[in-house]
């Protein structure tokens, strides 16, 4: 995997230089990777819609079994939904018997400072092929494909330990909680379910007052539910996405955007969500919530670009 993070073009290195700052809100850093030697035992190809179910089964079998949440190390099961298309590239590696042994997805996530960004996820290698170099080959193949198609810039979420010698643009830790709906709370009338287009307009206004707010989004992303809570002049609006995971047999919602003005508790707005569990950045907590449990660290990396903006207590990365 280290191979993926090496080899900037135009004579600039990547290692220690990746830690340098930029004053630009978006700065391109196109990278040229040296090719790895071909593997005669493996075939790499983009899949179409007819192969989505088979690849989803591969991910459920070999990715989710390694995912855990919380101090009790209880398993989380992944049930991904793949939609192979021009905007969602799904690359698989198969062995000589045409069995899937690796997968990676590269999909459009939205615009950041006017630039289209993609997200790398569903990155999985069969246990028999781990530490064989297949992870680097998958990353190299998707790098070359996406660059040839003009889809150059991406973000990469790494949970647990950070990538050695590479500086993420944001690091924090997850918290999670079981949500119990309460239709009798006094502020129920103040909670609204709003459309992505309305949320986008609200964030646009929010950023007029706080222009350094980190915001990656696409109003057309079907996997987003927005909730708005108003309390006098204070407000809180959040985005919750389907994580396509279950914990203790119940679905997990992933809270990926939070915009707050004034003192508004996260616990109040979450009484009306459709997920039994919520998983989110601990930076979104306001300090007056209860029952949130620590999970583990995570890191967001920028690939082939960098920025002076940094996520903080109010930001959105809706992928």
| Domain ranges across the chain | 2-167, 172-298+305-317
Measure the CA–CA gap between 27 and 53, rounded to whole angstroms.
Answer: 38
Global pTM value = 0.89
Pairing of strands 154-159, 115-125: parallel
pLDDT of residue 181: 67
DSSP 138-173: HHHHHHHHHHHTT---EEEEEESSPPTT---SEEEE
pLDDT of residue 70: 60
pLDDT of residue 1: 56
Q: Which helix (H) or strand (E) holds 101?
A: strand 100-112
CATH topology of domain 2-167: Aminopeptidase (3.40.630)
pLDDT tens by residue, the chain, 319 residues: 566 776 543 333 333 334 458 999 999 998 888 888 888 999 999 999 999 999 999 999 988 654 556 655 556 778 889 999 999 999 999 999 999 999 999 999 999 999 999 999 999 999 999 989 999 999 999 999 999 999 999 999 999 999 888 899 999 999 999 998 665 545 555 889 999 999 999 999 999 999 999 999 999 999 999 999 998 889 999 999 999 998 888 999 999 999 999 988 999 999 889 899 999 999 999 988 999 999 999 999 999 999 999 999 999 999 9
How is residue 80 written in tokens? 């991904």
pLDDT of residue 16: 36
């Amino acid at each position: 995997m280290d191979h993926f993070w090496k080899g900037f073009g135009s004579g600039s290195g990547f290692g220690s230089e990746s830690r340098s700052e930029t004053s630009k809100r978006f700065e391109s850093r196109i990278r040229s990777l040296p090719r790895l030697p071909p593997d005669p035992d493996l075939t790499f190809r983009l899949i179409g819609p007819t192969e989505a179910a088979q690849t989803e089964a591969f991910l459920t079998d070999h990715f989710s079994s390694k995912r855990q949440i919380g101090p009790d190390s209880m398993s989380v099961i992944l049930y991904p939904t793949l939609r192979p298309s021009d905007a969602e590239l799904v690359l698989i590696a198969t062995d000589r018997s045409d069995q899937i042994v690796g997968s990676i997805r590269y999909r459009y996530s939205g615009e950041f400072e006017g630039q289209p960004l993609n997200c790398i996820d569903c990155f999985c290698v069969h246990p028999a092929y781990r530490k064989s170099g297949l992870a680097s080959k998958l990353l190299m193949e998707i790098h070359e494909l996406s660059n040839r198609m003009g889809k150059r810039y991406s973000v990469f979420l790494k949970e647990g330990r950070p990538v050695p010698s590479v500086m993420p643009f944001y690091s924090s830790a997850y918290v999670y909680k079981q949500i119990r709906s309460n239709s009798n709370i006094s502020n129920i009338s103040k909670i609204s379910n709003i459309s992505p287009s309305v949320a986008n307009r609200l964030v646009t206004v929010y950023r007029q007052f706080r222009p350094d707010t980190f915001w990656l989004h696409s109003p057309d992303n079907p996997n987003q539910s927005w909730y708005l809570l108003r309390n006098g002049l204070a407000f809180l609006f959040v985005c919750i996405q389907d994580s396509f995971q279950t914990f203790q047999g119940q679905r997990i919602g992933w809270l990926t955007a939070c915009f707050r003005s004034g003192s508004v508790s996260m616990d109040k707005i979450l009484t009306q969500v459709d997920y039994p569990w919520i998983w989110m950045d601990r930076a979104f907590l306001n300090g007056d919530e209860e029952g949130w449990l620590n999970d583990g660290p995570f890191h967001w990396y920028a690939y082939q670009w960098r920025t002076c903006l940094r996520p903080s207590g109010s930001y959105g990365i809706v992928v």
